[in-house]
A and B are shown apart, each in its own frame.
Chain A
Amino acid sequence: MMTNKEKYKQAFSVLHASNDISMEVNKMKKTKKSFHIRPAVAACIAAFLLCGMTAYAVDLGGIREVVQSWFHGKQVAVDVTDNGDGGYTFSYEEDGETQEVGGGGVAINEDGTTTALSAKEVADQMAVDISRDDDGSVWLYYYDQSFNITDYLEKGICKVAISDKGKMVYFDIEDNGGGGYAFSQSKDPTGAKEDYTVI
């Protein structure tokens, strides 16, 4: 006969933190100089993970504007509604269908204060993405570039580097165990440069 504590522990033992956390904390430890930037970026990405996968109805009563951004390697005009609470609703056309996502974010300043990101800054966060196609292939999207990284993934992990206007951008990518991929990008490799495959 189990005690209440044993029952409770059994029930709640199914809860596990995301692998993204390990990546973010490890990344922070390795690149302390960029520490003040990472939480802000993480906050932005987290915001999109929260709502980016599900279209939802919104009250389009806020201030609207149109910005140019990149989604899945294609430049699109994004209809942005400022929801007035620091968040935005983004609406754009993809494959003939209207997609709607929400998000927002803050930049953490050197003194620890935060500044709300503009709609353009938030939209630009979506220009870099990793997703799995219906055929199982995994793609890294970086603004106007698309890379099939399926073969570089080993046990759901890979380190790749790409060239952006002559400068290298390094990616640490890891399967997040939830059907998506966690990643961090940096101008500097988090370990040995040789560990990265240039694609």
Chain B
Amino acid sequence: MRIETEILMKKYKDSLFAAAYSVCRNPADADDAVQDTLIQYHTIDKQFESEQHIRAWLLRVAINKAKNITTSFWRRQSVPLEDYMETLAFETAEAGSLFEQVMKLPEKYRIVIHLFYYEDYAIREIADILHVSESSVKVRLMRGRKLLKKVLKEEWDDDDQ
């Protein structure tokens, strides 16, 4: 099956952006990753099994493109996290604090945490998207949670352990 690119764009561009940003931590780079991902979807001759299949594919491609950007020379002009955060309208101070601490995690923890907590993917699904083993996902998730708990303390619960 295929879904119109414009429909996917409206529905998923923000979540693709969030995933890409979680990797590259640069809004302009994340925008590039999302745009390139949607263009790739539009031009690729590929049939999908379901919308969930498309969603996972889009996320995988956006994450990979964001990773590629981080290794290119464009990376030099990164935007300091603090500067970008000033442009974001967090509902609460705790939300801003959580965002900041997640962004300070190592990249391999960040993206696993993001797919689990934001996209609601299970460990097996995250392993499929990232092309890593389930045990790797479990370890990264556990270490990421521990680091968050260490800095956020009571603002981060143990309910997902």
When distances are taken between beta carbons in the complex, the residues of chain A under 8 Å from B30 are 17
* Docked pose: A10 CA to B99 CA in angstroms: 9
* Docked pose: A134 CA to B38 CA in angstroms: 36
Asked if A198 is an interface residue, CB under 8 A from chain B, the answer is no
Cβ-defined contact, B74 with A47, below 8 A: yes
The A interface is mostly helix, strand or loop, or mixed, namely helix
Cβ-defined contact, B94 with A7, below 8 A: yes
The B interface is mostly helix, strand or loop, or mixed, namely helix
Which residues of B5-26 are within 8 A (CB) of A? 5-6, 9-10, 13-14, 16-18, 21, 26
- Our count of residue pairs bridging A and B at CB distance below 8 angstroms stands at 117
Cβ-defined contact, B28 with A49, below 8 A: yes
Asked if A26 is an interface residue, CB under 8 A from chain B, the answer is yes
Cβ-defined contact, A15 with B39, below 8 A: no
Which residues of B132-161 are within 8 A (CB) of A? 155-157, 159-160
Interface centre among B36, B77, B117 (most CB of A within 10 A): B77
Chain B interfacial residues counted at CB < 8 A: 50
Q: State how many angstroms separate the Cβ of B139 from the closest Cβ of chain A.
A: 18
* Docked pose: A50 CA to B76 CA in angstroms: 9
Interface footprint category on A: 35 or more
Cβ-defined contact, A12 with B31, below 8 A: no
**What are 19 A-B contacts defined by CB distance under 8 Å?**
A3-B157, A3-B159, A5-B117, A5-B120, A7-B98, A7-B155, A8-B102, A11-B99, A11-B102, A17-B14, A20-B31, A21-B13, A22-B10, A25-B5, A28-B42, A49-B28, A50-B77, A54-B77, A102-B76
Residues of B within 8 A of A (CB): 5-6, 9-10, 13-14, 16-18, 21, 26-32, 34-36, 38-39, 42-43, 73-74, 76-77, 87-92, 94-96, 98-99, 102, 113-114, 117-118, 120, 155-157, 159-160
